[in-house]
């Protein structure tokens, strides 16, 4: 991650340093704007995107959920790591904005012939992509790609253990729209997006989770108090500078939470034995039906999916009214439409 | 009222400075009264009428028209609001805005729609609105009501109900509110 840009919603590089010759305001000679991470973002920028998501939520409820906003733009999905919901969600979002979607699959590409990542990206850019949506198992790849491209916007759809900014946005959006606590405070359709005093517990495999990292940044920027809960082996070795509290005791905490956010136990990213057994993990940190009974009224249960049912969450709990897991998926499309529109459709910076 | 238009017009972040008042609050009230009667005169079946206000400047006018039409005809008029941002032809050339909500009363097939806006200028907003309406079904007819027609059309669009025809310079700004209609300029603060 480049430490040079604290707020990654800003255009990089700045338009004045862009290699453009003409002085006109034509969109083609403007530097592309990237959405790489939410760490360091200000609440105001996130709220702009969340309010825009509301507008697209309305579009998605129409009989014909499609607008011509990004007609003629090409969005390339570059997924170097497996994904179902994020890829389908970005795909749907781009199509509902009338953009053309090209899906690049690493498994069937010339990467197998030894083509480098840089060559692949430059090829995609030369084909006229206006945005690339990148998922990669190595942290930092979207930043690297952003430093190579000249006119294509880079959207991070998850890099290694590092960031998953659109997931964080859709989670914050879902909290704002689903939490009875916030609905009572601000009204059901408020665009305040103010999480002051909201208690969020993020439970599970924190150290391997890009979802946790991005969510901590986004939720605390909006004012929430976040507690990370998990066994010591699954918490990051260093939490200096994280605006969070840490706990190893889910049972002691569960009655206080407004939001119980369960992470997937990432068995594919865990190379060493960090847990004695899955049964022990479930007994201490899984949201079993019995444990979910102790959630207070108005608390909501979230999971980024795909869930290991019977490990971090019981199937029974996912079907309770307090579970907003399917709302997360639905909202994902609206939020990604907002992100694509914000980064591809704007002539100058968002004004309010 | 025209805050949104103002923030979208270069110079960005400019401030509206009023120069001439062309209609006062009483003139605006009378114009709305007359336009409401014209709408009733032309559309005998008020029950099938839907007023669609363009965000944000058309909303107060549609509400005022709806009140008068309701009083005079005895039928409540359905009012919707429409934000045409996603249908514009200048996406990528101007800022992205988030604050205006679309709230349409559902399927429009068979209804007569009256689009309501404050100021008719190039006609591009109305073009975008016509495209947006198409997504809600096939309206029986679409009419256009504006408080001010200031000329300078760039598309073959004309209003059916006009509060005031107002010749302007291209670089001027027109602000229409319940308190009156004012011509002025946008200047960098």
pLDDT at A269: 63
pLDDT of residue A274: 80
Closest CA to A48 of A14, A9, A86, A75: A9
Same domain, yes or no: A193 and A154:
no
Whether residues A176 and A150 share a domain: the answer is no
Instruction: Write down the mean pLDDT value for chain A.
Output: 87
Residue A21's pLDDT band (boundaries 50, 70, 90)?
very low
Judge whether A10 lies within some domain: no
Percentage of chain A surpassing pLDDT 90?
A: 71
Residue B91 located in a structural domain: yes
Lowest mean pLDDT among A28-32, B37-41, B163-167: A28-32
| Same domain flag for A70 and A131 | yes
Q: Residue A38: which of A178, A219, A204 has the closest Cα? A: A219
Per-residue pLDDT, A11: 40
* pLDDT tens figures, B73-88: 998 999 999 999 889 8
For residue B107, what is the domain's CATH number? 3.40.50.2020
Domain span holding position A52: 27-163+331-344
Identify the top-confidence range among A163-167, B13-17, B167-171.
A163-167
- Please give the tally of structural domains in chain A: 2
A37: in domain: yes
pLDDT at A272: 63
Answer yes or no: do A72 and A155 share one domain. Answer: yes
The domain that holds A65 is classified in CATH as 3.40.50.1370
Q: Is the pLDDT of residue A296 over 70?
A: yes
Which domain range does residue B79 map to? Answer: 33-169
My answer on whether A31 and A105 are in the same domain is yes
- B86 vs chain A: nearest CA distance in angstroms? 5
- For helices A165-178 and A85-96, the axis angle rounded to 10 degrees is 80
Same domain, A234 and A143: no
Mean pLDDT of A55-75: 92
Predicted confidence at residue B12, as pLDDT, reads 66
Q: Give CA separation, B177 vs A172, B9, B50, B158, in Å.
A: 36, 18, 22, 22
In this structure, is residue A251 part of a structural domain? yes
pLDDT of residue B157: 96
- Return the pLDDT at B7: 55
Same structural domain for residues A303 and A337?
no
Beta strands in chain B (DSSP E): 15-24, 49-54, 78-82, 112-120, 141-149, 161-165, 173-177, 180-187
Instruction: Give the residue from chain A lying closest to B11, CA to CA.
Output: A348
In a domain, A17, yes or no: no
Let me know whether A139 and A174 are in one domain.
no
Would you say residue B20 lies in a domain?
Answer: no
Same-domain check for residues A217 and A317: yes
- pLDDT (tens digit, 9 = 90+) per residue, B34-54? 999 999 999 988 888 999 999
Answer whether B96 sits within 8 Å of A62, measured CB to CB: no
Confidence tier at A352 by pLDDT (50, 70, 90): very low
Position B176 in a domain: no
The domain total for chain B is 1
Q: What is the pLDDT of residue A345?
A: 82
- pTM of the model as a whole: 0.86
Position B24 scores a pLDDT of 94
The two three-digit tokens of residue B16, written as one number: 């509206």
Closest CB from B87, B97, B104 relative to A68: B87
Q: Assess if residue B13 is contained within a domain.
A: no
Q: A28: distance to nearest CA of chain B, Å?
A: 10
Phi–psi pair at A61, nearest 5 degrees? -95, 0
In a domain, A350, yes or no: no
Residues A308, A310: Cα–Cα separation, whole Å: 6
Q: What is the pLDDT of residues A312-321, one digit of tens each?
A: 999 999 999 9
Interchain contact, A352 vs B135, CB within 8 Å: no
pLDDT for B90 beyond 90: no
Question: Cβ–Cβ of B87/A54 closer than 8 Å?
Answer: no
For chain B, the maximum distance between any two Cα atoms, rounded to a whole number of angstroms, is: 49
**In the prediction, which pLDDT does A104 show?**
85
Is B82 a domain residue? yes
| Closest-CA residue of chain B to A96 | B86
Residues of B in contact with A350 (CB under 8 A): 95-98
If you ran DSSP here, which 8-state letter would residue B103 be given? B
Read off the tokens for B142: 């679409």
Question: How does DSSP classify residue B75?
Answer: S
Mean pLDDT of A154-178: 96
Q: What's chain A's length in residues?
A: 352
Q: Which residue of B has its CA nearest to A47?
A: B98
Same domain? A217 vs A294: yes
Give, in degrees to the nearest 5, the angle at Cα B50 between B81 and B28.
Answer: 70
Q: How far apart are CA A89 and CA A330, in angstroms?
A: 9
The 3 state secondary structure assigned to chain A is: CCCCCCCCCCCCCCHHHCCCCCCCCCHHHCCCCCECCCCCCCHHHHHHHHHHHHHHHHHHCCCCCCCCCCCCCEEEEEECCCCCHHHHHHHHHHHHCCCEEEEEEHHHCHHHHCCCHHHHHHHHHHCCCCEEEEEECCCCHHHHHHHHCCCCEEEEEEECCCECHHHHHHHHHHHHHHCHHHHHHHCCCCCCCCCCCCEEEEECCCCCCHHHHHHHHHHHHCCCEEEEECCHHHCCCCCCCCCEEEECCHHHHHHHCCEEEECCCCCCCCCCCCCCCHHHHHHHHCECHHHHCCCCCCCEEECCCCCCECCCECHHHHCCCCECHHHHHHHHHHHHHHHHHHHHCCCCCCCC
**What's the pLDDT at A13?**
38
B122: in domain: yes
pLDDT tops 60 at residue A23: no
Residue reference for tokens 């007994």: A283
Asked if residue A219 and residue A138 are part of one domain, the reply reads no
pLDDT at B117 over 60: yes
Q: Is residue A4 part of a domain?
A: no
In a domain, B110, yes or no: yes
Q: What was the pLDDT predicted at B97?
A: 65
Report pLDDT for A27. 42
pLDDT at A270 (0 to 100): 62
Say how many CB pairs under 8 Å bridge A and B: 79
Q: Are residues A155 and A33 in the same domain?
A: yes
Phi and psi at residue A195, to the nearest 5°:
-100, 15
Is pLDDT of B186 > 70? Answer: yes
Q: Looking at the predicted structure, is the pLDDT value of residue A172 above 80?
A: yes
Helix (H) or strand (E) holding B73: helix B59-73
The residue whose two tokens read 């007023």 is B51
Does a structural domain hold residue B180?
no
Q: Which residues are B129's β-sheet partners?
A: none
């Amino acid at each position: 991650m480049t430490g040079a840009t604290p707020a990654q919603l800003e255009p990089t590089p700045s338009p004045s340093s862009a290699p453009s010759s003409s002085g006109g305001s034509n969109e083609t000679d403007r530097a592309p704007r990237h959405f790489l991470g939410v760490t360091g973002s200000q609440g105001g920028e996130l709220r702009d995107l969340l309010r825009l998501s509301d507008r697209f939520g309305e579009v998605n409820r129409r009989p014909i959920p499609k607008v011509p906003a990004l007609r003629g733009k090409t969005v390339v999905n570059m997924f170097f790591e497996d994904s179902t919901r994020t890829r389908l969600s970005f795909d749907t979002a781009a199509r509902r904005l009338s953009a053309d979607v090209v899906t690049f699959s690493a498994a069937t590409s010339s990467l197998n012939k030894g083509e480098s990542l840089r060559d692949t990206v430059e090829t995609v850019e030369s084909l006229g992509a206006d945005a690339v949506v990148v998922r990669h198992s190595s942290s930092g790849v979207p930043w690297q790609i952003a430093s190579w491209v000249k006119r294509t916007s880079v959207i991070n759809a998850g890099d290694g253990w590092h960031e998953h900014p659109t997931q964080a946005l859709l989670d914050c959006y879902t909290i704002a729209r689903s939490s009875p606590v916030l609905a009572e405070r601000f009204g059901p359709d408020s665009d305040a997006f103010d999480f002051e005093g909201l208690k969020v517990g993020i439970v599970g495999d924190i150290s391997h989770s890009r979802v946790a990292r991005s969510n901590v940044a986004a939720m605390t920027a909006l004012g929430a108090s976040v507690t990370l809960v998990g066994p010591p082996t699954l918490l990051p070795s260093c939490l200096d500078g994280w605006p969070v509290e840490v706990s190893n005791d889910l049972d002691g905490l569960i009655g206080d939470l407004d939001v119980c956010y369960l992470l997937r136990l990432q068995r594919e990213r865990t190379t060493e034995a960090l847990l004695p057994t899955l049964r022990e993990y479930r007994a201490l940190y899984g949201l079993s039906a019995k444990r979910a009974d102790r959630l207070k009224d108005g608390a909501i249960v979230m999971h980024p999916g795909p869930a290991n049912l019977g490990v971090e969450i019981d199937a029974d709990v996912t079907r309770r009214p307090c579970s907003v897991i399917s709302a997360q998926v639905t909202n994902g499309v609206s939020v990604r439409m907002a992100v694509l529109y914000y980064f591809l459709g704007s002539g100058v910076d968002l004004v309010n | 009222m025209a805050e949104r238009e103002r923030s979208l017009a270069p110079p960005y972040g400019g401030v509206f400075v009023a120069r001439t008042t062309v209609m006062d609050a009483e003139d605006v009230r009378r114009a709305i009264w007359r336009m409401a009667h014209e709408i009733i005169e032309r559309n005998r079946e008020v029950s099938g009428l839907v007023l669609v206000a363009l965000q944000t400047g058309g909303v107060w006018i549609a509400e005022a028209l709806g009140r008068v039409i309701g009083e005079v005809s005895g039928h409540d008029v359905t009012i919707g609001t429409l934000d045409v941002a996603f249908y514009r032809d200048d996406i990528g050339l101007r800022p992205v805005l988030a604050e205006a909500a679309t709230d349409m009363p559902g399927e429009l097939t068979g209804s007569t729609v009256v689009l309501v806006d404050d100021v008719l200028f190039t006609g591009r907003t109305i073009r975008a609105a016509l495209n947006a309406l198409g997504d809600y079904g096939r309206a029986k007819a679409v009419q256009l009501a504006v408080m001010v027609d200031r000329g300078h059309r760039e598309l073959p669009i004309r209003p059916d109900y006009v509060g005031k025809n107002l010749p302007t310079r291209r670089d001027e700004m027109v602000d229409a509110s319940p308190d009156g209609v004012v011509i002025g300029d946008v200047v960098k603060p």
